[in-house]
């Protein structure tokens, strides 16, 4: 079972639903109200946040492969 997640974005029509990527590489929806996590297929209903900007002179942390979101 996946135990580590990265938050990638939120559902466009319900920002209380977060888009997660597990350490297994799969995508999940996290419901803030209930705490429920469920496996999903990412589609256009999800808004992906831009990667954070690294401070000058440093390299950004690697981000999960975003090609799976296309």
1 falls within a domain: yes
36 falls within a domain: yes
- For 15, list phi and psi in degrees, rounded to 5: -65, -5
8 falls within a domain: yes
Q: Containing domain of residue 20, as a range?
A: 1-42
62 falls within a domain: no
48 falls within a domain: no
Q: State pLDDT tens for residues 13-69.
A: 999 999 999 999 999 999 999 999 999 999 999 999 887 776 777 766 666 565 555
Which of 45, 56, 52, 1 has the alpha carbon at shortest distance from 19?
A: 45
2 falls within a domain: yes
Looking at residue 51, its pLDDT comes to 75
59 falls within a domain: no
21 falls within a domain: yes
Q: Say how many domains are in the chain.
A: 1
Q: State pLDDT tens for residues 5-17.
A: 999 999 999 999 9
């Amino acid at each position: 079972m996946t135990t580590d997640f990265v938050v990638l974005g939120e559902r466009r029509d319900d920002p209380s639903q977060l888009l997660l990527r597990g350490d297994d590489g799969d995508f999940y929806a996290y419901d803030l109200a209930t705490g429920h996590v469920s496996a999903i297929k990412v589609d256009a209903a999800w808004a992906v946040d831009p990667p954070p900007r690294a401070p000058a002179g440093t390299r950004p942390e690697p981000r999960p492969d975003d090609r799976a979101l296309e």
